[in-house]
Structure 1
Amino acid sequence: MQYEDFLAHMQVCIEQMAAPRYQVQFHSVIKNNDVEQNGVVLMKEGERVSPTVYVNTYYERYLQGESIPKLSKEIVELRIHTVQEHSLEEVADDMSLEKWKDRIVYRVVNRKSNRKRLAEIPFMQFVDLAITFHCVVRNDDNGIGSFIVTRDLMESWNLTVKGLYQFAGVNTPKLFPSSIRTMEEVLQELFIEELSPSIITEEVIEDVKQEIAAQAEFVHSMYILSNLNNINGASALLYPNVIENFSNQIQSNIYILPSSIHEVILVPFQEEIDKSQLIQMVSEVNETQVAAEEVLSSNIYYYDRMCKEIMLEE
């Protein structure tokens, strides 16, 4: 069954299950990198807002053999029991600057790949990227909930883009503290997560460490910059003094590789490093390892300790 037919069948099935309690609305949403996703909203009478459930991943599960009635039932139950309901009503109740000024944060996205989204929202330019602004509704064990700041909302707050950036510059590092770890640490953690808990021993962990250490000497000089949530962590590039302090700590200029919107890779400058290989590596990872809506850039950046500036490396 083609995707369009799947959506039509899903809508009929969800409407049958949800009626008469909910009105079912299917719509398209432009996500990061102008990736279009289809969402379904189940709205109760009298509600002003309701969470969107995205159905693209449900199509993948359908292709793997799960039935449309089963998937539809899951969506309806997710809407009924969602933890976002209270938060969304809270958003609609009070949109004043006083309420949200301590929750304004920034994120970085690719400027060229987000032309449609950026046409509708305030943003600032940063190298080949765009800094966008969001309000955090929740940040807990159930995940991060947020909404994007539109031009209309910014104007209702009587703010400029610079004013948004000033609030976000204080809030983002506070709400999402930065984290810098070695590539070895991250790879070890990923390998161990994939192992069955029943076989994890100190000896197994040591074997994993040795295996990673033997794979590539280049890994030893690579670091991962993100935030403690590992979500939209590439924005830590903007945090005051984070790159500067790290550069001073290792006494080196730095190549910055945009791994995804969630993290970047820091590589201390060495004369023997071939920049074209770094660019090729980023392009290959974007094409094969990163979801389309999570790609940050296929360019690389360079931090100069003397200039204290991040610049596009060409």
Structure 2
Amino acid sequence: MIDRKMRKNEKEGVMQRENERIIYHLMHFDEKDKEWSERPYLLLEDMAIVFDILDLDDRSIQRIDHKKANKEQWSDQFLWESAKKNTKQFLPAKFEPVYKDFRGHTEDRPVFMVSNKIQRYGAAVICYEDFLDDISRKYNKSLYLLPTSIHEMLLLFDDGEDQEEDLLHILEKSDQQLSKEEFLSENIYYYDKYMGELISLF
């Protein structure tokens, strides 16, 4: 009787930890891929927000599919609300200049990397509440975002110069070095400081 009660408590403890460690990350969305029939997701332009359980090492993830969500009775709304809170808490955003010899980087036009503290699945920080808005307001600039992988994005300020073709070339070159699992998007995104919206340019 005691052993049975202890096992029940252990199981409930594991489930509680899983509830509290639901996070999200971004993936490339291809509607032809059968994966999208197997797991809950939300669309963000041509990217998908997918849900995972962050392991206790704060680095590894376990995919949440429909089977897992149904077993635990996790609705799409529950997954999204939980992940919004947990992802920002466990994987805080990182925003820093990239190295000086990066193409497109000048003293007058710096290039920044946005990711999370572990630089894994870090492109999702653009979904953090107020993250892009805070950067845009601080520098009083609209933003270009280059999704160089699922792990990070490059960020440049819109200085009023026509640079979209140059940025697209940088992104294409970066995409050539990625595995299928790390590829996120071939599009450039633009955060408009006036409208507070993220849109795809291509």
1:149, 1:214 → 2: CA distance? 38
Richer in helix (by share)? 1
Q: 1:7-55, CA deviations, whole angstroms, 9 ceiling, x for partnerless residues?
A: xxxxxxxxxxxxxxxxxxxxxxxxxxxxxxxxxxxxxxxxxxxxxxxxx
Scaled by the length of structure 2, the TM-score of the pair is 0.86
Give the 3-state SS of the residue equivalent to 1:133 in structure 2.
strand
Q: Are 2:201 and 1:283 aligned? A: no
Deviation of 1:290 (Å): 2.3
Of residues 72, 83, 91 in structure 2, which corresponds to 1:176?
Answer: 91
User: Which residue of 128, 132, 137 maps to 1:248?
Assistant: 137
Alignment partner, residue 116 of structure 2: 227
Point out the more displaced range, 303-312 or 272-281. 272-281
Counterpart contact for 2:123–2:150, Cα < 8 Å:
yes
Give 1:300's aligned amino acid. Answer: I
The structural deviation recorded for 1:214 is: 11
Quick one: structure 1 residues 178 and 213, their matched pair in 2 at CA, closer, same or farther if it must change by over 3 Å?
closer
* 8 Å CA contact retained: 2:142, 2:158: yes
Q: What displacement does 1:243 show?
A: 0.7
- Structure 1: runs of 5+ lacking an equivalent: 1-92, 188-211
Q: State the one-letter code of the partner of 2:81.
A: Q
In the aligned structure 2, how far is the partner of 1:112 from the partner of 1:95?
37
Matched residue, 2:195: 307
Question: Are 2:104 and 2:111, in contact at CA under 8 Å, matched by a contact in 1?
Answer: no
Q: Does residue 112 in structure 1 map to residue 30 in structure 2?
A: yes
2:150 equivalent to 1:261: yes
Q: Aligned partners of 2:132, 2:105: CA distance in 1, in Å? A: 25
- The structure, 1 or 2, with the larger RCO (C-alpha pairs under 8 Å, 6+ apart) is 2
| Cα deviation 1:140-189 (Å, max 9, x = unaligned) | 5xxx22211111221223232122010000000100010000113xx6xx
CA separation in 2, counterparts of 1:170 and 1:280?
35
1:124 to 32, 42, 51: 42
- Judge which range, 146-155 or 107-116, deviates more: 107-116
Partner SS state of residue 290, structure 1 = coil
1:103-136 CA-to-partner distances (Å, cap 9, x unmatched) read 0000000111782222211111111100110001
Seen in structure 2, the aligned counterparts of structure 1 residues 214 and 174 have a Cα distance that, compared at 3 Å, is: closer
Residues 237 and 220 from structure 1, CA distance in 2 versus in 1: closer, same or farther, beyond 3 angstroms? same
Equivalent pairs, count: 192
Distance 1:213 1:257, change over 3 A: closer
TM-score by length of 1: 0.56
Where 2:168 maps in the other structure, the secondary structure is helix
Check whether the contact 1:258–1:300 (CA below 8 A) recurs between aligned residues.
yes
User: Deviation of residue 215 (structure 1)?
Assistant: 9.0
